[in-house]
Structure 1
């Protein structure tokens, strides 16, 4: 399932539910429907930046989380499990568009909404 985040200060950000879940868990927000108000945006940016920094400090934990999230991932014909792990897209890369949206919302005094 896809989750689309909307804000008037930036383009929409769409991501898979399992990737959005980790971000929204960090922010203590509901996956189905919610809002990060302009007043909450600064704190949300701080929390998400901390989580990104931790994921970069501990890439093995990030990879472990990803392996659970993508347990259903099918390898390409010529792809080995080692290659799939090497090509892993980490939390920092997945969170970047949403983090940019939050920064724009914070700076522009706007809300970020989803599920509405």
Structure 2
């Protein structure tokens, strides 16, 4: 399921709900419907930037490492299997972060689910 973030300050940002959930949980917002006001946008930017910095400090999880080892282990279970391509939190958050910065700078709200 997709969530589409909208603001008069930037182009729409569509995002899978499962990916947006982590960001919205940080901001204490509901995934189905919500608003980040222009007044909240500054603190939202700071929170997302902090989480991006934290995610960069710990880029690969144990789960991803186990998956790669299962497909490329010593037993050669699947030698033709593609390596894991990780889309980082920073990459997923970038479009929303840019929208929030524009909303903050232009005094506009960001809404979704309406």
Q: Aligned in 2, Cα 1:97/1:64: closer, same or farther, shift over 3 Å?
A: farther
Name the structure 2 match of 1:90: 88
Counting helix residues as a fraction of each chain, which structure ranks higher? Answer: 1
Q: For residues 47-98 of structure 1, what are the alpha-carbon distances to aligned partners after superposition, in whole Å with 9 as ceiling and x for unaligned?
A: 000000000001124x748x9xxxxxxxxxx9626x0x2x211110000000
Name the structure 2 match of 1:12: 12
Cα distance in structure 2, aligned partners of 1:79 and 1:21: 33
- Whether 2:48 is the aligned partner of 1:48: answer yes
3-state SS in 2 of match to 1:14: strand
- Whether 2:108 is the aligned partner of 1:110: answer yes
TM-score (norm 1): 0.81
3-state SS in 2 of match to 1:55: helix
Work out the number of aligned pairs and report it.
Answer: 101
TM-score (norm 2): 0.82
Instruction: Extract structure 1 runs of 4+ deviating beyond 3 A.
Output: none
Structure 1 portions without partners, runs of 5+: 68-77
Structure 2 portions without partners, runs of 5+: 67-78
CA RMSD, 1 decimal = 2.0
Q: For residues 14-63 of structure 1, what are the alpha-carbon distances to aligned partners after superposition, in whole Å with 9 as ceiling and x for unaligned?
A: 010100001101111000000000000000000000000000001124x7
3-state SS in 1 of match to 2:60: helix
| Bigger Cα Rg | 2
Cα distance in structure 2, aligned partners of 1:34 and 1:43: 16
Q: Aligned in 2, Cα 1:64/1:54: closer, same or farther, shift over 3 Å?
A: farther
